[in-house]
Chains A and B, each alone.
Chain A
């Protein structure tokens, strides 16, 4: 119908010259301009673009901070204070980077829960989903090592506790931990290697993100109905429809980020990390960053150290097997009334675990942590497999455009909406 070709045709002589040698403009055009996306994507689908922006923001502010930071146990803390006080806009760079990390996780968790709700992990998007899990793991490693760099009390003791997790591995655990440290406790060699890796990992994340986007563009986006794109009528080109929508959404997201950066920059951090690292005193209440709290709660819920560590890593690893644990053929939770309940239960379980992760592990908190840990794993190993077999899903619409027009148009003739796909 459209006279415009969806493929890129170079116009100028220079563009033609380049395109016949390296068709990179054509690649960008087909991936981010002409790329067709379902027209019914809601605002939950803008978090992919938001995450891309956050990754770039973290890398750029991080490179700037690395220009002024000193990765040495004696100087790290004071070099951070140097950035905060003496470097022009240094406080802005550091607060953007620290709060950006938190908001990165806000966005990635929303992105993941959107995928969980709308069944975005199901065939043919399993590889896309698994790449996402790998990105999450890399992000966690990066964030953890980044939090060590200011070399405050939380940095030091967080590093001590988390590296000690590996000591529970039978036989080789001790050796592994010593090798992680580069010494006999967390110290200057540890700080140096964490700095090195903290600088490296974001670029690995970037690489996996490219694979993630590639794996997205082969089957195309999932959408709120979960049904496949059937005709061109079901889609809109990425530009300008999604670019403007993503930009709008990202602006609102950055507004929230700036609320923290400019008005409460230390809200998501810990006061103890403004105390320089001291190997002779552990803070009375050590907790990880908020985005690790649900996993930390699972770790502490289990009395056996080895099993606790296994459970914690399993809580993340299980996500990779999700495409095969969910037996339902229906993708979108919108058409699965009982799944919907369990989905929201799972959200509450995660929030609950997060809260418990911040509380001392004693009394009723431990009991609750155990109950929620069981519910967490039950969601994957019991509820999802059974729901697919037992639940009766609602009727699916015939096409994406039908579902859109039904929702939006009252003045729409029914016949037009149900028009067969003849375009």
Chain B
């Protein structure tokens, strides 16, 4: 009878209990996975995020055009000579996130700046040509970007990031990459 031998196995968990408990734990983890996985972008959303082609020809100098890839805003900016010069001549020591302008544009096509259009602080869309450097100014918390899309002052920690893109010819770019 069980209680006549209280010292026989009072605390020892035998193999059976461990095996059952471990199996239960594996089961719970396996069940949890699909419930987490369903949160990921679904196949249609992924498929809809195919690269897009942008025709640069109609974008005149000094103009900023907004395009979307994967539902994310991208600025395509046709920079003026003055804006390019300003971006190139800013000393790196002035930059919170130092990065030369040449790293942010394609060599020989410096007039085209292509950057993500959401402020790197908390994602608001900065206003075109605003702020001290006539790049962008974010109305939410006052981040100021220059004509290379680099953060100059305000709370945004890093420069506006560059989406993956490449020039097909002089006036056409493909933005994005396969998922």
* A and B: bona fide binding partners: yes
**Residue positions of A touching B, CB distance < 8 A:** 1, 60, 64, 67-68, 82, 85-90, 92-93, 247
User: Which B1-37 residues sit within 8 Å CB-CB of chain A?
Assistant: 3, 24, 34-35, 37
Q: Is B93 an interface residue (CB 8 A)?
A: no
Closest A-B pairs by Cβ, 9 of them: A89-B34, A86-B43, A86-B42, A86-B44, A87-B42, A88-B37, A88-B38, A89-B38, A88-B40
* Chain B residues in 8 Å Cβ range of A68: 38, 42
Tell me if A64 and B44 are in contact (CB < 8 A). Answer: no
Name 19 A/B residue pairs within 8 A (Cβ), A-sorted: A1-B3, A60-B35, A64-B38, A67-B38, A67-B39, A82-B42, A85-B43, A85-B44, A86-B42, A86-B43, A86-B44, A87-B38, A87-B42, A88-B43, A89-B35, A90-B42, A92-B34, A93-B35, A247-B24
User: Which B81-135 residues sit within 8 Å CB-CB of chain A?
Assistant: none
Which residue of chain B has its CB nearest to the CB of A1?
Answer: B3
Bound Cα distance A85, B37 (Å)? 14
A374 to chain B, nearest CB (A): 47
**Residue positions of B touching A, CB distance < 8 A:** 3, 24, 34-35, 37-40, 42-45
* Chain B residues in 8 Å Cβ range of A82: 42, 44
A241 to chain B, nearest CB (A): 12
Q: Which of B3, B38, B43 has the most CB of A within 10 A?
A: B38
Which residue of chain A has its CB nearest to the CB of B24?
Answer: A247
Which residue of chain B has its CB nearest to the CB of A251?
Answer: B27
Tell me if A93 and B34 are in contact (CB < 8 A). Answer: yes
Tell me if B42 and A89 are in contact (CB < 8 A). Answer: no
Tell me if B42 and A64 are in contact (CB < 8 A). Answer: no
Which residue of chain B has its CB nearest to the CB of A85?
Answer: B43
* Chain B residues in 8 Å Cβ range of A93: 34-35, 38
Bound Cα distance A60, B45 (Å)? 23
Which residue of chain B has its CB nearest to the CB of A96?
Answer: B34
Bound Cα distance A1, B3 (Å)? 10
Bound Cα distance A88, B38 (Å)? 5
* Chain B residues in 8 Å Cβ range of A60: 35
Bound Cα distance A87, B39 (Å)? 8
Bound Cα distance A87, B38 (Å)? 6
* Chain B residues in 8 Å Cβ range of A1: 3
Tell me if B37 and A89 are in contact (CB < 8 A). Answer: yes
B28 to chain A, nearest CB (A): 12
CB-contact partner of B35 in A64, A85, A247, under 8 A:
A64
* Chain A residues in 8 Å Cβ range of B42: 68, 82, 86-88, 90
Q: Which of B3, B35, B39 has the most CB of A within 10 A?
A: B35
* Chain B residues in 8 Å Cβ range of A87: 38, 42-43
Tell me if B38 and A90 are in contact (CB < 8 A). Answer: yes
Given contacts A87-B42, A89-B35, A93-B38, 9 further A-B contacts (CB under 8 A): A82-B42, A85-B43, A86-B43, A86-B45, A87-B43, A88-B34, A88-B37, A90-B38, A93-B34
* Chain B residues in 8 Å Cβ range of A64: 35, 38
Bound Cα distance A67, B35 (Å)? 11
Which residue of chain B has its CB nearest to the CB of A57?
Answer: B31
Which residue of chain B has its CB nearest to the CB of A63?
Answer: B35
B122 to chain A, nearest CB (A): 24
* Chain B residues in 8 Å Cβ range of A247: 24
Bound Cα distance A182, B42 (Å)? 33
Bound Cα distance A87, B45 (Å)? 9
A60 to chain B, nearest CB (A): 7
Q: Which of A60, A88, A90, A93 has the most CB of B within 10 A?
A: A88
Bound Cα distance A88, B65 (Å)? 35
Bound Cα distance A68, B41 (Å)? 11
* Chain A residues in 8 Å Cβ range of B40: 88
